[in-house]
Amino acid sequence: MQKGQIRVQTENIFPIIKKFLYSDHEIFLRELVSNATDATQKIKTLSSIGEAKGELGNLRIDVTLDAKEKTITIEDRGVGMTKEEVDKYLNQVAFSGAEEFLTKYKDASIIGHFGLGFYSAFMVAEKVEVLTQSYQDDAATVYWSCDGSPEFELYEVEKKQRGTKIILHVNEESNEFLEAGKLKGILEKFCKFLPIPIYFNDLAAEPRKEEEEEKSINNTNPIWVKKPSELTKEDYEKFYRELYPFGETPLFWIHLNVDYPFNLTGVLYFPKIKQSYEIQKDKIQLYCNQVFVTDEVKDIVPEFLMLLHGVIDSPDIPLNVSRSYLQGDPNVRKINAHITKKVADKLEEIFKNERASFEEKWESLGLFVKYGMMTDDKFLEKANKFLVMEDVNKKFYTLEEYKTATEANQKNKDGKHVILYTTNPVQQDAYIQACTAKGYTVVKMETLVDAAFLNTMEMKWDNVTFVRVDADIVDNLIDKQETNDTVLSKEEAEKLKELFTLQIPELHVTTEVKGLSVDSAPVVATRPEFMRRMKDMGAAGGGMTAFYAQMPDEVTLTVNGNHPIYQTLLKESDEAVKTRQVRNLADLALLSQGLLKGAELTNFINRSVEMMQPK
């Protein structure tokens, strides 16, 4: 029997491990089961090359909870350890002191570092026992134990079966881990896709009936480790349901499979996104050799793709010692860029080969594509080919298709293409009808990202400007040589302008008289595009534009001097009647812009009823 002290030049290294290396106590189980998996994988490898003799037997990992005895046992049938290896891996954690220990390990990946992961056991255990038998024929079975101080016991015992058994005697502060549901939940979280079957046994539970099949808690062969050519549509959808049992069937997916210049596998799914945007982020899970690491993947996955779902697995992603966050590293940037490229390539492929299907999915896809175009210039280059805009007649255009379709009639005096858009087809219907009647093409921009999108694209696209259908009299924006002459005399036009010069609380109203077409509305209310955008941005995001939100709404009342109604109205002798008619026409125009509110709306309703009363 050997007794001794763990060779560390400090009184007790365990508080350092607990406080410095690990922030989340539940990961002790991940570390110990991962080590058991590594040991099992090693025996398979050694057997395949002839270095390990004899039958492999049933290669599995058993996690057993004995709440009565306050123990958790992790047992494998892997390579095991010799006495010398136990001394090396469990005792010589550090060679010259805590300071060097921390320097050496604080930024290191610990996957494959048995000793360091093993010591996470002392976060929850007051005593740890290890019983291990090496695969080597002449090796003795070794017993090791430690109570969380730098002291240990190490001696040989009667020969057992190959593998390692670790028994944790759970401390008082960690009694929560003696709950079967809690322990099984941790296994399912971290070990759900480990390649060796893991079985959980609660000694306090009812014994399993003979006819009941014993089920492992993990899927040892998830689809991301398979070749795409081996998988069907049903396989991908089944795996999605395994990841997200209550999720809708995804739109499509991308299978990642890279082995140079870094290793990366995984499957990313495009979920359906409803118009209400009940969006859930952090749905992508990061694995390292099938061990769950985190669902905080913002450094690996581009921000605009954080709404995707799925799995990424890479042994080349640098992790800190507790595997709880990523370190800055060139590989992370390369992986980020690769994922962006793969997504862009997939979207372009679907657009080219299945355009009708692509357009059907656009309501969900548009959010990803537009956000990506705003935030990633490399993605923008590719996305320019497959971004589509849907018009009010449900026809889709790429930017180039829109330009071609509107080449003849939608350019302004500066030679820029005017993209007419609506943010609310129902509310802005009158303006849309006025535009489409003149042959203009109006596209829908009604999602949460569209306001920022069109602002950004005006800077990134050449010779393009966006104008909302209710921003101005459209013919004023298009480069048309029209005189805007009215059938009114100069005096009548001045009189009409005077009648429509109104003072309305919280609105800054400008009035003009123009000769629009006879079938246009008598009064058209428009809001300057720039000021409306500034107010919208100020209301949404604050910052430098916040003060715009406090400013009164600017509105221009364009009185259509060519409308027949004014031939009658100007001849009305009763000034009170004339005033009511003018105000109602103005209010109808303001109502179309959603600018008639409160007392002004109440007055309009009462006035309308009054005007319908017989004289």
User: Tens digits of per-residue pLDDT, 325-355?
Assistant: 455 567 777 888 888 999 999 999 999 999 9
Residue 252: give its domain's CATH number: 3.30.230.80
- Which tokens belong to 328? 């800055």
- Tell which phi-psi region holds residue 207, choosing left (phi > 0), alpha (psi between -120 and 50) or beta: beta
Domain membership flag for residue 63: yes
Say yes or no: 530 and 471 in one domain: no
317 pLDDT band, cuts 50/70/90, is confident
pLDDT at position 16 is 58
**How far from 439 is each of 390, 476, 530, CA to CA, in Å?**
16, 15, 25
Q: Is the pLDDT of residue 275 over 50?
A: yes
pLDDT at position 549 is 57
pLDDT at position 236 is 95
Q: Is the pLDDT of residue 77 over 70?
A: yes
pLDDT at position 65 is 96
How far apart, in whole angstroms, are the C-alpha atoms of residue 511 and residue 360? Answer: 43
Q: Is the pLDDT of residue 391 over 90?
A: yes
Domain membership flag for residue 376: no
How far apart, in whole angstroms, are the C-alpha atoms of residue 286 and residue 316? Answer: 12
- Which tokens belong to 531? 């000021």
| Interval 162-210: pLDDT, tens | 999 999 999 998 999 999 999 999 999 999 999 999 999 999 888 878 7
Q: Is the pLDDT of residue 104 over 80?
A: no
Residue 33: give its domain's CATH number: 3.30.565.10
Q: Taking residues 234-240, report their average pLDDT.
A: 94
How far apart, in whole angstroms, are the C-alpha atoms of residue 91 and residue 361? Answer: 58
Say yes or no: 243 and 327 in one domain: yes
Q: Which residue has the higher pLDDT, 81 or 109?
A: 81
Q: Which residue has the higher pLDDT, 446 or 276?
A: 446
Scan for tokens 């858009």, then name that residue: 421
DSSP string, 556-597: EEEEETTSTHHHHHTT---HHHHHHHHHHHHHHHHHHTT---
92 pLDDT band, cuts 50/70/90, is low
- Which tokens belong to 330? 């060139």
How far apart, in whole angstroms, are the C-alpha atoms of residue 499 and residue 494? Answer: 9
Burial, 65: exposed, middle or buried (Cβ in 10 Å; 0-12, 13-18, 19+)? buried
pLDDT at position 540 is 60
Say yes or no: 297 and 177 in one domain: no
Domain membership flag for residue 370: no
Scan for tokens 């949404």, then name that residue: 540
Scan for tokens 């509305």, then name that residue: 521
pLDDT at position 18 is 55
Sign of CA dihedral 226, 229, 234, 240: positive
Q: Is the pLDDT of residue 460 over 70?
A: yes
Question: By three-state DSSP, how is residue 380 classified?
Answer: helix
Domain membership flag for residue 273: yes
Burial, 96: exposed, middle or buried (Cβ in 10 Å; 0-12, 13-18, 19+)? exposed
Q: What residue numbers bound the domain in which 405 lies?
A: 388-482
Say yes or no: 182 and 264 in one domain: no
Say yes or no: 20 and 146 in one domain: yes
Sign of CA dihedral 310, 312, 318, 324: positive
Burial, 123: exposed, middle or buried (Cβ in 10 Å; 0-12, 13-18, 19+)? buried
Confirm if 413 and 459 have CB atoms less than 8 A apart.
no
pLDDT at position 11 is 47
Question: By three-state DSSP, how is residue 523 classified?
Answer: strand
Residues 6+ apart with CB under 8 A from 195: 37, 41, 220, 221, 225, 290
Q: Of 316, 344, 372, which one is at a domain's C-terminal end?
A: 344
73-82, 110-119, 136-145, 520-529, range with the lowest pLDDT: 110-119
What φ, ψ does residue 265 adopt, rounded to 5°?
-130, 165
Among 45-59, 374-388, 584-598, the range of highest mean pLDDT:
374-388
Sign of CA dihedral 182, 188, 190, 191: positive
Confirm if 518 and 562 have CB atoms less than 8 A apart.
yes
Neighbours of 568 (CB within 10 A): 9
pLDDT at position 225 is 92
pLDDT at position 511 is 86
Say yes or no: 308 and 440 in one domain: no
Q: Taking residues 267-293, report their average pLDDT.
A: 76
pLDDT at position 109 is 36
pLDDT at position 115 is 43
Q: Is the pLDDT of residue 271 over 90?
A: no
* The residue count for the chain: 615
Say yes or no: 14 and 126 in one domain: yes
Sign of CA dihedral 381, 383, 386, 392: negative
480 pLDDT band, cuts 50/70/90, is low
How far apart, in whole angstroms, are the C-alpha atoms of residue 301 and residue 291? Answer: 18
Q: Cis (ω within 30 of 0) for the bond into 315?
A: no
Closest CA to 70 of 182, 177, 183, 188: 177
Say yes or no: 430 and 506 in one domain: no
Q: Which residue has the higher pLDDT, 54 or 18?
A: 54
Say yes or no: 134 and 270 in one domain: no
pLDDT at position 103 is 52
Q: Is the pLDDT of residue 100 over 50?
A: no
pLDDT at position 105 is 45
Say yes or no: 93 and 64 in one domain: yes
23-27, 110-114, 301-305, 488-492, range with the lowest pLDDT: 110-114
pLDDT at position 548 is 62
Q: Of 464, 482, 500, which one is at a domain's C-terminal end?
A: 482
**How far from 402 is each of 236, 364, 370, CA to CA, in Å?**
36, 21, 17
Neighbours of 519 (CB within 10 A): 10
| Interval 402-457: pLDDT, tens | 999 998 888 888 888 999 999 889 888 888 988 888 889 999 998 878 888 998 99
Residue 490: give its domain's CATH number: 1.20.120.790
Amino acid at position 251, single letter: L
Mean pLDDT over the full length of the chain: 82
20-29, 44-53, 195-204, range with the lowest pLDDT: 20-29
45-54, 177-186, 311-320, range with the lowest pLDDT: 311-320
How far apart, in whole angstroms, are the C-alpha atoms of residue 360 and residue 396? Answer: 10
- One-letter-per-residue 3-state SS of 329-352: CHHHHHHHHHHHHHHHHHHHHHHH
Q: Taking residues 33-57, report their average pLDDT.
A: 87
Q: Which residue has the higher pLDDT, 55 or 280?
A: 55
Residue 426: give its domain's CATH number: 3.40.50.11260
How far apart, in whole angstroms, are the C-alpha atoms of residue 170 and residue 150? Answer: 18
Q: Is the pLDDT of residue 478 over 70?
A: no
Neighbours of 224 (CB within 10 A): 23
Domain membership flag for residue 531: yes
Domain membership flag for residue 383: no
- Which tokens belong to 180? 């079967």
Q: Is the pLDDT of residue 94 over 90?
A: no
The total number of structural domains in the chain stands at: 4
How far apart, in whole angstroms, are the C-alpha atoms of residue 176 and residue 579? Answer: 78
545 pLDDT band, cuts 50/70/90, is low
Portion of the chain with pLDDT greater than 70, in percent:
84
How far apart, in whole angstroms, are the C-alpha atoms of residue 218 and residue 221? Answer: 9
Portion of the chain with pLDDT greater than 90, in percent:
33
| Interval 195-206: pLDDT, tens | 999 999 999 888
Q: Of 457, 482, 507, which one is at a domain's C-terminal end?
A: 482
Domain membership flag for residue 123: yes
What φ, ψ does residue 457 adopt, rounded to 5°?
-70, -30
609 pLDDT band, cuts 50/70/90, is confident
Say yes or no: 419 and 337 in one domain: no
DSSP string, 152-211: EEEEEES---SEEEEEEEE-GGGGGGGSHHHHHHHHHHHSTT-SS-EEEEETTSPPPPTT
| Interval 253-264: pLDDT, tens | 999 988 877 888
pLDDT at position 113 is 39
Domain membership flag for residue 358: no
477 pLDDT band, cuts 50/70/90, is low
- Which tokens belong to 422? 């609506």
How far apart, in whole angstroms, are the C-alpha atoms of residue 273 and residue 192? Answer: 27
Pairing of strands 252-258, 264-270: antiparallel
pLDDT at position 547 is 61
Say yes or no: 461 and 508 in one domain: no
pLDDT at position 282 is 63
